Structure 1
């Protein structure tokens, strides 16, 4: 069993209780609820209902490259692209988005404000106690961003420990624990507030490597074209003998098993064809290295 730590920072602050931000022009204000109960009705028949209506309401958090709006305000990113492909195959051609604080996605889903979360959300036992996940749609191995030419000759966090270099991590992110497990001294770990701070610190020589998921680092490099940095090949950290894959998936209400199962059937056709997978979401920094292993199952990931 491979139990991941979430790839995201701690998201249980007061912001998790914030209000929803609605995308301009999208039909997201209404919610399907059982009159007098506040509960979403008919989850058992939700797939048939969505096919009849011709659209599915999706919640996303505005986080590139997982789910965001591009320059034309269109819904883009890993999750919406995969989900659009899957729902089209299921006879549901339109995604109607609601932009939401990440911590409010699950409460919004449970309140019936949308039908699925399309945000690359990490599959964790704590979340599985509230909602149901698809099978993994990606894994997010860790990688290092280093200065161009990799002057320190680094490969992974163990090499950082061996060579005594300074490693940047995001504040409260899981990479800090990965670095500690790999033997990097606390004094050599530099906490940074945001991703851009990591790249800037690296270019300025304040750190020798920036540790984050390969997905995020490749996107960061893409949005900073011309910066004298490179992203090394990803690796899977091991904590207490357990590989940390940090997989993510689509999220559904607990009763929506028919919709989730139909989704999983189409998802398997994509993850089972790495060339198609990369063709769909390669532009967002996803490679064959992010294709989930067939042995990695949500049922196992949900076990505490």
Structure 2
């Protein structure tokens, strides 16, 4: 997924979602303040994880991807990863809180075994770490006032309607809009997602352009708004799927491959996938196409 501005890594929201009985982890607070060195020979292999009964995962405290609520680890990535590691014979996720920019360096240093934060697959990151196959894609969407008075559904309809669109500063959505032929004078830039939502509610813009995942999260606290159906924009004729994945240390290919085997069982089952991740705003539109492969994404 292409990165968004530094409201953390991509400008997504950091609010809580309610879902029962998920990953209550004993000792969570101490785990957040201290990391393991991971210097033992063979650390990170599946056999070792099975014997010790837990896998060390890093999260960046970003909802809806990976975050804590009290003593509970929640979000898309921990939910999916708990299901996968349970199938692999590893019962528990042991979490470590890290700054997003420090996730891959911490992985390289052996502080944890897996990054469980919905990290974007990019060629630059592929040089320094191993990515699983995509866990999700992030189709783009438009937040509009309740009732969608301009009847916009995508960038083509937005251009035809001549509406004013809000985007986040430094985010990729501005390039999507311009690539669709929307002129710069029809774009207004905001620093935070809530600023865009406020502008929609106040009528200062007609729509706010961001990922559907983020916008659906934002509507939880902005009921005067709604989100049009998500779509996959194109840039220079290339679909912008914006996929995210689990991340492993180089040298742990066997663990990554075992993870991928179980991941495929979930992403091949739409009902199971949506049942697991719907509480966090992920649905069928976020299910990765079977043809979308990490090896291709790492090439750019």
Q: 1:9 Cα deviation (Å)?
A: 2.9
Q: 1:7 Cα deviation (Å)?
A: 4.5
Q: 1:153 Cα deviation (Å)?
A: 1.2
Aligned to 2:295: 299
Counterpart CA distance in 1 for 2:123 and 2:6 is 15
Sort the Cα spacing of 1:73 and 1:193 in 2 relative to 1 into closer, same or farther, 3 A.
farther
| More displaced 10-residue stretch of structure 1: 281-290 or 192-201 | 192-201
Counterpart CA distance in 1 for 2:6 and 2:30 is 31
- Contact 1:7/1:213 (8 A) holds in 2: no
Sort the Cα spacing of 1:177 and 1:115 in 2 relative to 1 into closer, same or farther, 3 A.
same
TM score, norm. by length of structure 1 = 0.89
- Contact 2:28/2:94 (8 A) holds in 1: no
Which of 237, 243, 247 aligns to 1:247? It is 243
Q: 1:33 Cα deviation (Å)?
A: 1.8
Do residues 157 (structure 1) and 160 (structure 2) align? no
Aligned to 1:61: 60
Q: 1:23 Cα deviation (Å)?
A: 5.7
Deviations 1:66-115 (A, max 9, x none): 11112x23110000000000001111111111111111111111111111
Counterpart CA distance in 1 for 2:119 and 2:155 is 25
- Contact 1:11/1:102 (8 A) holds in 2: no
Counterpart CA distance in 2 for 1:182 and 1:9 is 21
Aligned to 1:37: none
Which of 110, 113, 128 aligns to 1:112? It is 110
Q: 1:11 Cα deviation (Å)?
A: 9.0
Deviations 1:86-145 (A, max 9, x none): 001111111111111111111111111111000101111111111010000101100111
Q: 1:165 Cα deviation (Å)?
A: 1.1
How many matched pairs? 282
Counterpart CA distance in 2 for 1:211 and 1:73 is 34
- Contact 2:154/2:231 (8 A) holds in 1: yes
Deviations 1:198-227 (A, max 9, x none): 1111101111101111111111112x15x2
Which of 195, 219, 227 aligns to 1:231? It is 227
Aligned to 1:30: 36
Counterpart CA distance in 1 for 2:229 and 2:91 is 36
- Contact 1:10/1:173 (8 A) holds in 2: no
Which of 158, 182, 203 aligns to 2:201? It is 203
Q: 1:183 Cα deviation (Å)?
A: 1.3
- Contact 1:141/1:234 (8 A) holds in 2: yes
Q: 1:239 Cα deviation (Å)?
A: 0.4
Q: 1:259 Cα deviation (Å)?
A: 0.5
Counterpart CA distance in 1 for 2:96 and 2:182 is 41
- Can you give the 5+ residue segments of structure 2 that lack an aligned partner in the other structure? 10-26
Counterpart CA distance in 2 for 1:11 and 1:111 is 25
- Contact 1:122/1:248 (8 A) holds in 2: yes
Sort the Cα spacing of 1:184 and 1:282 in 2 relative to 1 into closer, same or farther, 3 A.
same
Considering only aligned residues, what root-mean-square deviation do their CA atoms show, in Å? 1.9
Counterpart CA distance in 1 for 2:85 and 2:244 is 18
